[in-house]
Amino acid sequence: MKRIDVADLPKAGPYSHAVVSGGLVFVSGQIGTLKDRRTSFQEQFENAVSKIKRILEASGSSIDRVVKVTVYLADAKYFGEMNSLFEKHFGNAPARTTVICNLIDPGMLVELDVVAEV
């Protein structure tokens, strides 16, 4: 097992950005909010994907090697927009689970975690 952290990406606790094990990369949940600025659903989704790409690259993988995505939505009203953005960024159509839930911060609209091949 190898732990991965990207130096300039913040974390909200004592965990790794990703763990590589058994030929897979397990990326911790990533959000797309910006400090001291409200962001739209699209901005948050795009920011989260950008972080995921950086973490995957640091792990020796890439967005094209993602096999599973879990999407956490703050509200079901974002489901259609999420589908469009998901297709744009995850063109290889990985397996996906979408969960509607309360996120830690009321300004958070989406969180994503992924599993990818190394």
pLDDT at residue 89 tops 90: yes
Mean per-residue pLDDT, 80-107: 96
Q: What would be the CATH architecture of the domain defined by 2-117? A: 2-Layer Sandwich (3.30)
In this prediction, residue 35 carries a pLDDT of 86
Sheet with strand 18-21: strands edge to edge: 2-4, 18-21, 24-31, 110-117, 66-73, 95-100
Is pTM beyond 0.85 here? Answer: yes
Q: How far apart are CA 36 and CA 21, in angstroms?
A: 36
Cβ–Cβ under 8 Å, residues 20 and 4: yes
List Cα–Cα distances, 106 to 38, 41, 51, 61, 70, in angstroms: 11, 13, 20, 32, 19
Average pLDDT of the residues of the chain: 97
pLDDT at residue 67 tops 90: yes
pLDDT band at 9 (very low <50, low <70, confident <90, very high): very high
Token digits of residue 38: 């409200």
Token digits of residue 44: 């948050």
Q: What are the domain boundaries of the chain?
A: 2-117
Q: How far apart are CA 47 and CA 73, in angstroms?
A: 15
In this prediction, residue 94 carries a pLDDT of 98
In this prediction, residue 36 carries a pLDDT of 85
Segment 29-46, tens digit of pLDDT: 999 999 889 999 999 999
Q: How far apart are CA 18 and CA 38, in angstroms?
A: 27
Residues 6+ away with beta carbon under 8 Å from 97: 68, 69, 70, 71
